[in-house]
Structure 1
Amino acid sequence: ARIDEAVEEFAAAVNDYSVRALGDAVTDLARYGNEYIQRNEPWKLVDEEPAEAERVIYDCVALAKAIAVLFEPLAPEKSERLWAQLGEPGTVHEATVEAAREGPTGDLSEPTELFEQVEDERVEDLNEKLEARVAESEDGDGDESDDDGGEADGSAADENDDDTDDTDMTDIEPLSDDRISFDDFQELDIRVGRIEAAEGIEGADDLVKLTVDLGAETRTIVAGLKQLHDVSDLPDTKVIVLANMEKAELFGVESNGMVLAAGEEADLLTTYEDAGPGTKVK
């Protein structure tokens, strides 16, 4: 039952395009697994109640398998290692969400740690850097306030305009300080596409199955547009597609690419000149 709840939370996160919610669904399931094994203590049952010990261990392995499946979109390498340790056939990258509900079928191998422990010194160092950055940001805000205070000749209308601008900016995420190289950007295969067909996906509130012409080929792409766009209006729309996005299976449909959109309303990125399907964005 707990695995079923996690699968439902995972599906809701995918529908909402929420990476945070998807991660929470997996970590909550892992937390439950930790509590479950600590509460039942199978190592104490092996001699007195071997059948009960076997059941508890089986449940724990089933939880681990579900975590491998649901965590794959966020941590594909770690999920593949866990899948292999569980002795499951094939690769976790080809497993569907329904595999999370299926019991374990493989033979366990010798487990190894998937994640290295972060030492306390490293945590303290990161906290100090974070605190310094926060303090620097607050100092910068204070300097701006002082500068604004020295300009006493502004009109009330100007002040109102400033307030409006500040309000509008509160919903904008700050620009990332993390930079990528030009070579990294070149590895992104971003293309102009044209939607040829669009239809809703049964059981998915927000997802739409798109058939997209990318010039050299036509692909199926799943996008969370159903609640934000009239599906019947999507055909013939030119869109921008990340063509070398890893494939993913959502509600039984394989998505081969990602349609790019801006903001909570999924404002579709497009082109307004003559660039045809397959044109590379660079």
Structure 2
Amino acid sequence: MTDQIKAAPVKPNITIDDLDKIDIRVGRIVLVEDVENSKKLIKMTVDFGDFTRTILSGMKEEREDPKAEIEGKQALFVVNMAPRKMAGEVSEGMIYDIGYEDGILPVLAVPESEVPNGVRLG
């Protein structure tokens, strides 16, 4: 069992319509690369079955060897975020990395067993 943390306040309520706007899918991290000129960012190439995306994440300082630790794994991603330029690279989504906001070493949100890449949450 893990240590307890002080729970953050619950955010304001949203509607099911708000939740339906978020496209969350399972993707496989097929490649992890460093982002030049960034102490925090890594660049992931993620396979979603019918499409591939480049997604950046600030986990370089959170993990000893991000490539060895997450490459080849499935995880949950938001795929309908507007592209965002960071450190000269464009990110086309967001990975669910659990724990950062609560000050613990983050872990990936992953399916409990293998599923096809591109499967949607919900």
State whether TM-score is above 0.5.
Answer: yes
- Secondary structure of 2:113 counterpart: coil
Identity of aligned residues (%): 31
1:139 is matched with none
Aligned partner of residue 183 in structure 1, secondary structure: helix
User: Which of 66, 83, 87 is equivalent to 1:251?
Assistant: 87
Which structure is higher in RCO with an 8 Å CA cutoff and minimum separation 6? 2
1:181 equivalent in structure 2: 15
Name the SS for the 1:216 alignment partner: coil
Partner of 2:115: 275
Which protein has the larger Cα radius of gyration, Structure 1 or Structure 2? Answer: 1
Contact 1:200–1:231, Cα closer than 8 Å, also in 2: no
Match of 2:74 among 228, 238, 247: 238
2:26 equivalent in structure 1: 192
SS in 2 for 1:241: strand
CA distance in 2 between counterparts of 1:232 and 1:181 reads: 37
What are the Cα deviations for residues 111-159 of structure 1, in whole angstroms up to 9, with x where unaligned? xxxxxxxxxxxxxxxxxxxxxxxxxxxxxxxxxxxxxxxxxxxxxxxxx
Aligned length: 114
Distance 2:58 2:28 in 1: 17
Deviation at 1:239, TM superposition (A): 0.9
2:51 is the alignment partner of 1:217? yes
What are the residue-to-residue correspondences of 1:51-90 with 2, within 5 Å? none
Distance 1:266 1:255 in 2: 20
Please give the root-mean-square deviation of Cα atoms over the aligned residues, in Å. 1.4
2:4 counterpart SS class: helix
Deviations 1:37-64 (A, max 9, x none): xxxxxxxxxxxxxxxxxxxxxxxxxxxx
Cα drift, residue 231 of structure 1: 2.1
Q: TM-score, normalised by structure 2?
A: 0.86
Alpha-carbon separation, structure 2, partners of 1:240 and 1:203: 27
Q: TM-score, normalised by structure 1?
A: 0.39
- The offset of 1:273, in angstroms, is 1.6
Q: Which structure 1 segments of 5+ residues have no match?
A: 1-166
Give 1:40-189 correspondences, 5 Å limit: 168-170=4-6, 172-176=7-11, 178-189=12-23
Letter aligned with residue 268 of structure 1: L
For residues 256 and 175 of structure 1, the distance between their equivalents in structure 2, rounded to whole angstroms, comes to 28
Pairwise mapping of residues 4-19 of structure 1 onto structure 2 (< 5 A)?
A: none
Amino acid at match of 1:174: P
Per-residue CA shift, 1:179-231, capped at 9, x if unaligned?
11112111110000000000111111110000000111011000011112222
Per-residue deviation, 1:281: 0.4
Looking at structure 1, the residues matched to 96 and 82 of structure 2 have their Cα atoms a distance apart, in angstroms, of: 14
Query: Helix, strand or coil for the counterpart of 1:209?
Result: strand
For structure 2, list consecutive stretches of 5 or more residues without a partner in the other structure: none
Q: 1:97 corresponds to which residue?
A: none
1:245–1:256 CA contact under 8 A, matched in 2 = yes
Secondary structure of 1:197 counterpart: strand
- 1:201 aligned residue: 35
The one-letter amino acid of 1:202's match is E
Instruction: Compute the displacement of 1:262 (Å).
Output: 0.9
Runs ≥4 residues deviating over 3 A: none
